[in-house]
A and B are shown apart, each in its own frame.
Chain A
Amino acid sequence: MNQTENIFDTSKNMQDRKLMLEIVGLRKSFGDNHVLNGFNLELYEGENLVIMGKSGAGKSVMVKCLVGLMSADSGSIKVMGKDITKLNRAELDDTRTEIGFLFQGNALYDSMTIRENLEFPLRRHKAKFGTVEDTTPLIMEALESVGLAHTINLMPSELSGGMQKRIALARALILKPKIILYDEPTSGLDPITSKEIIELMRRVQKQYKTSSLIITHDVDCARVVSERMILLVDGTNYAEGTFAELASSNEEQIKAFFK
Chain B
Amino acid sequence: MQKSKSVFKSFFIEIGELSYFAGRFFKEVFSRPFELKELLKQCYNIGNKSILLVGVTGFIIGLVLTIQTRPTLEEFGAVSWMPSMVSISIIREIGPVIIALTFAGRIASGIGAELGSMRVTEQIDAMEVSGTNPFKFLVVTRILAATLMLPILVLFGDAVALFGSYLIENTKGDVSFVLYFNKVFNALEFSDIFPAIIKTYFFGFAIGLVGCFKGYTCSKGTVGVGMAANSAVVYASMLLFVLDFIAVFVTDIFIDI
Contact = CB atoms under 8 A, between A and B. Distances in A.
A110 B123 contact: yes
Interface string B82-124: 0000000000000000000000000000000010001001110
A172 to B, nearest CB: 9
Contact of A107 (B114, B122, B131): B122
Interface residues of B, number: 14
B40 to A, nearest CB: 15
B123 A101 contact: no
A108 B118 CA distance: 9
Interface in A95-138: 96-97, 99, 101, 103-105, 107-111, 120-121, 123-124
Given A105-B121, A107-B121, A99 B129 contact: yes
A94 interface: yes
Interface residues of A, number: 23
Contact of A105 (B114, B122, B127, B131): B122
Given A105-B121, A107-B121, A96 B126 contact: no
Given A105-B122, A107-B123, A69 B128 contact: yes
B125 A120 contact: no
A245 interface: no
Contact of B122 (A96, A97, A103, A120): A103
A128 B10 CA distance: 47
A121 B121 contact: no
B130 interface: yes
A67 interface: yes
B132 A107 contact: no
Nearest to B127: A120
Contacts of A124: 130-132
A93 interface: yes
Most-contacted residue by chain A among B114, B126, B128 (CB, 10 A): B126
Contacts of A89: 133
Interface string A238-257: 00000000000000000000
Interface in A57-104: 64, 67-69, 89, 93-94, 96-97, 99, 101, 103-104
A104 B127 CA distance: 15
B130 A96 contact: yes
Contact of B129 (A69, A111, A123): A69
Contact of B126 (A97, A99, A109, A111): A109
Contacts, number: 47
Contacts of A68: 128
A105 B126 CA distance: 11
Contacts of A123: 130, 132
Contacts of A96: 129-131
Instruction: Indicate the member of A97, A104, A107, A121 with the most B CB atoms within 10 Å.
Output: A107
Contacts of B133: 89
Nearest to A181: B129
A248 B228 CA distance: 49
B121 A93 contact: no
Nearest to B128: A69
Nearest to B121: A105
Interface string B118-151: 1001110111111111000000000000000000
A110 B133 CA distance: 18
B131 A101 contact: no
A97 B128 CA distance: 11
B123 A109 contact: yes
A103 B125 contact: yes
A68 B126 CA distance: 12
Nearest to B137: A123
Contacts of B127: 109, 120
Contacts of B118: 109
A123 B127 CA distance: 11
B200 to A, nearest CB: 27
A105 B122 CA distance: 7
Contacts of A64: 125
A113 B39 CA distance: 18
A94 B131 contact: yes
A219 to B, nearest CB: 25
Contacts of A109: 118, 123, 126-127
A228 B122 CA distance: 28
A121 B130 contact: yes
Contacts of B123: 107-110
7 contacts: A69-B125, A69-B128, A104-B122, A105-B122, A108-B123, A108-B126, A120-B127
Given A109-B126, A124-B132, 9 more contacts: A67-B129, A68-B128, A96-B130, A99-B129, A101-B129, A104-B122, A109-B118, A124-B130, A124-B131
